[in-house]
Amino acid sequence: MTSSRPSGLAPQAGWGKRLNRTLGQLVLELLVISTLNGVLFGMLLFLMASGLTVIFSMLGVLNFAHASFYMLGAFFGFQISRWFGFWPALLIAPLLAGAVGAGVERYGLRRVHKNGHVAELLFTFGLAFVIEEVVQIIWGKSPVDFRVPPLLDFPAFTIFSTNYPAYKMFMLLVSIAIFVGLLLVLKKTRIGLIVQAALTHPHMVGHLGHNVGRIFMLVFGVGTALAAVAGVIAGPALVTQSNMAGLLGPILFVVVVVGGLGSLPGAFVASLLIGLVQTFAVSMNGSLSGAFGPLSPAYEATWLADIWGVTIAQIAPIMPYLLMVLILIFRPMGLLGTRDT
Amino acid sequence: MRKVLSLTALALSVLAVSGMSAAAEDTVKIGYIDPLSGGGASVGEVGLKTFQFLADEVNAKGGIQGKKVEIVPLDNKTNPQESLIQAQKAIDAGIRFLTQGNGSAVAGALSDFVTKYNERNPGKEVLYFNYAAVDPVLTNAKCSFWHFRWDASSDIKMEALTNYMKTVPAIKNVYLINQDYSFGESVRTAARAMLAAKRPDIKIVGDEKHPLLKVTDFSPYIAKIKASGADSVITGNWGQDFELLLKAAADAGLKVNWYTYYAGGTGGPTAIKQANLDHQVFQITEGIANLDHPASQEFEKAFRAKYDVSVFYPRAVNEMRMLAAAADKAKSIDPVKVAQALEGMEVEVLDGGKGNMRKDDHQFFQPIYISSFGDRSAKEPFDEEHTGWGWKLAARIDTPATVVPTTCKMERPN
């Protein structure tokens, strides 16, 4: 309604123009568009994985419920934007989700922590189901109508006749801002120093007069709030539905593992890498049969034919998982990780 | 909560059956096996409401052969294995009619299970009514006397769609994008074969398969569609794969017409409205709310008034009404006699026109509608999912133009 996109279709014109272009132009177009798409997707991944990385690197807790806090953020954002508009939602929803996260740490995780990592994992695993059920009871199982705010609902620029919406640019900026902001807080401020010290030497930090429990609660709260920021921002761009956590979960762990468990710059690099790898793979139609010619008829009916005929584009979304497996084999601590726990 | 309630209802109904076998004779129970929890629950619930509404309708008219109809919900979590457990549970509780729709893998397992069960238990036969699983194999290579399908198979839908597309000269370059599993595969193969036969001048400029429900960002696919110069896209995508695909297309400003199987599914209309693709998304169904047909509009009104969702399964209406008609014709609710009465039965379908249950393969044939989603005129009273937009009729493909051949060789009981 607020969009200014013209409707109707004019296929012939586009087709004619395409034929007149040279091969070089086509390759350039493919490179530019794929790079742009890859960077945008990568930044979206980082937005979603940053909170997970913070919690893991600071607390050593692998939070299986992280994607659930992302979903909570999206639904809080949806509800608050209904009442007060998108921008207040972008502020209030993460605060709410952060408060929920802090509460979970204070009254749940802290007690469970005494029983070791396995108990923690199981706790967050169960929490994910609880959150999903609660969201279903309140908002139902169907997708909700969460829209991009009118202020950002226009194409920011057009390149090779493809629009790039302003909202995606906003997503990119927020993602970079979060990266820089977190890095500064952790490396350059007193709070960052205390937080880092509390992870490796909790008793010493405690003896120095700091409340270690509160620091942990704060970190967990910030981590979940970051997940909620991602939820509020990605909600309108993707689908806000009660199964969104389950669908997103696995890829976030890939980002964290590839980047190096607990490394913020690592997660940033890994997100970009995964975004680019996946996007470029989709644009390639090559297959083994394309490279080496068709399979000999003797093998036509075997499983080999399936592998031979599959295109790179077809397996593109599986590439990140392949990358994760390779990283775990050859560089278990991840790209920029410092420890291999 | 709802799950707890439905489980309680189930437990009570099982108790009722085992406790009072005499009372069981007075009801016709239909086991509804579909997802009521997990990812597919939003779809399964709409189906359950539809069948409960239809049971009420039949009961208000005196039931089937004087017996009340009762729908027994059984949660299969969209899982074939779980479905068989639920089917066995239903049979143990004395249920002789099963219905299911979501997922061709589930449907295949159920059809197989029911066929084997009936071979081993003559005199206690069970019928399986399929209202939504569209894999053509169910009425071809793997057809069964005990399986009846009311939804058009994906081949029939493609037959109807291509019969429409051949009359639109503006379509010149078609791109296919589908989910990489049996259903997506049958959509793309049927599309290629039928377009080549009916409109050899149409170029297939792309044929993409992507993993099922794993893609978060469709912009690279949209870039490919754009580069291909396509004017139309055919997709069998559903759920998130449909919604994200459309959003990415709208973001990039891609101008094509979308020919889809499941644009009307839960969340689909919302996504189209968000993407602002006014009358650029078409769907193939056996009926839409905005048909100029008073009987179906009345039904639509009553259904919406009760549940606040639109009638997504006109085929379920045909299924229930034909079950009642077949029982009347056979003067019995014995599954074998009902099945024999259903074979070749011709009826007036909910959305108007003649439909018939083909005897050769138990596939129901009915008029198919191509409609587009967007702004409404006075002739379209109903919107979808409170978007303000609704379905507008683009073309009606009458029953004879939807008929596809079958390879089914059915074994019949003596």
Contacts of A148 in chain B (CB under 8 A): 274
Smallest CA–CA distance from B277 into chain A, residue: A7
Query: Is the CB of residue B229 less than 8 Å away from at least one CB of chain A?
Result: yes
Angle between helices A212-237 and A166-188 (to 10 degrees): 170
Kindly tell me if the per-residue pLDDT of A191 is higher than 90: no
The helix, strand and coil proportions of chain A, stated in percent and rounded to the nearest 5, come to: 75, 5, 20
Decide if B313 contacts B132 (C-beta within 8 A). Answer: yes
Do the domains B155-285+367-402 and B2-152+295-365 match in fold? yes
Q: Which of A179-188, A294-303, B280-289, B364-373 has the lowest mean pLDDT?
A: A294-303
Q: Do A142 and B251 touch (CB under 8 A)?
A: no
Q: What is the pLDDT of residue B143?
A: 95
Q: For residue A221, give the amino acid letter.
A: G
Contacts of A29 in chain B (CB under 8 A): 227
The superfamily in CATH containing domain B155-285+367-402 is Response regulator (3.40.50.2300)
Residue A32 lies in a domain: no
Q: pLDDT tens digits, residue range A207-266?
A: 998 888 898 899 999 999 999 999 999 999 888 888 888 877 788 889 988 998 778 899
Q: Pick from A282, A285, A318 the residue to mutate for testing the B interface (most B CBs within 10 Å).
A: A282
Q: What is the pLDDT of residue B5?
A: 53
* Cα separation, A213 vs A234, whole angstroms: 32
Q: What is the pLDDT of residue B2?
A: 53
Decide if A224 contacts A100 (C-beta within 8 A). Answer: yes
Which regions in chain B score pLDDT beneath 70? Answer: 1-25, 39
| CATH architecture type of domain B2-152+295-365 | 3-Layer(aba) Sandwich (3.40)
Pick A193 or A297 by higher pLDDT: A193
User: How many structural domains is chain A composed of?
Assistant: 1
Smallest CA–CA distance from B45 into chain A, residue: A141
Residue A37 lies in a domain: no
Split at pLDDT 50, 70, 90, the class of A6 is: very low
Q: What is the pLDDT of residue B334?
A: 94
Q: What is the pLDDT of residue B16?
A: 47
Q: What is the pLDDT of residue B9?
A: 54
Q: What is the pLDDT of residue B25?
A: 62
On average, the pLDDT of chain A sits at 85
Q: What is the pLDDT of residue A291?
A: 75
Q: Do A12 and B211 touch (CB under 8 A)?
A: no
Contacts of A314 in chain B (CB under 8 A): 180, 208-211
Contacts of B383 in chain A (CB under 8 A): none
Most confident of A2-6, A139-143, B198-202: B198-202
Q: What is the pLDDT of residue A7?
A: 41
Q: Do A161 and B1 touch (CB under 8 A)?
A: no
Closest CA to A278 of A254, A312, A326, A239: A312
Q: What is the pLDDT of residue B303?
A: 96
**Alpha carbon of A25: minimum distance to chain B alpha carbons (Å):** 12
Instruction: Give the one of A11, A37, A236 whose C-beta lies nearest to B172's C-beta.
Output: A11
Residue A199 lies in a domain: yes
Smallest CA–CA distance from B233 into chain A, residue: A11
Pick A340 or B184 by higher pLDDT: B184
Query: Is the CB of residue B278 less than 8 Å away from at least one CB of chain A?
Result: yes
* Cα separation, B287 vs B298, whole angstroms: 14
Instruction: Give the one of B208, B215, B267 whose C-beta lies nearest to A241's C-beta.
Output: B267
Whole-prediction pTM: 0.86
Closest CA to A174 of A46, A74, A275, A38: A46
Please report, for chain B, the start and end positions of each structural domain, with discontinuous segments joined by +. Answer: 2-152+295-365, 155-285+367-402
Residue A309 lies in a domain: yes
Residue A165 lies in a domain: yes
Q: B208 has which bridge partners?
A: B177
Query: Is the CB of residue B257 less than 8 Å away from at least one CB of chain A?
Result: yes
Residue A157 lies in a domain: yes
Kindly tell me if the per-residue pLDDT of A333 is higher than 80: yes
* Cα separation, B204 vs B192, whole angstroms: 8
ipTM confidence score: 0.84
CB contacts < 8 A, A to B, total 145
Domain of residue A238, residue span: 47-289+299-330
Q: What angle do CA A86, A91, A95 make, to 5 degrees?
A: 135
Q: Which of A20-24, A150-154, B64-68 has the lowest mean pLDDT?
A: A20-24
Pick A102 or A57 by higher pLDDT: A102
Q: What is the pLDDT of residue A116?
A: 85
Pick A62 or B94 by higher pLDDT: B94
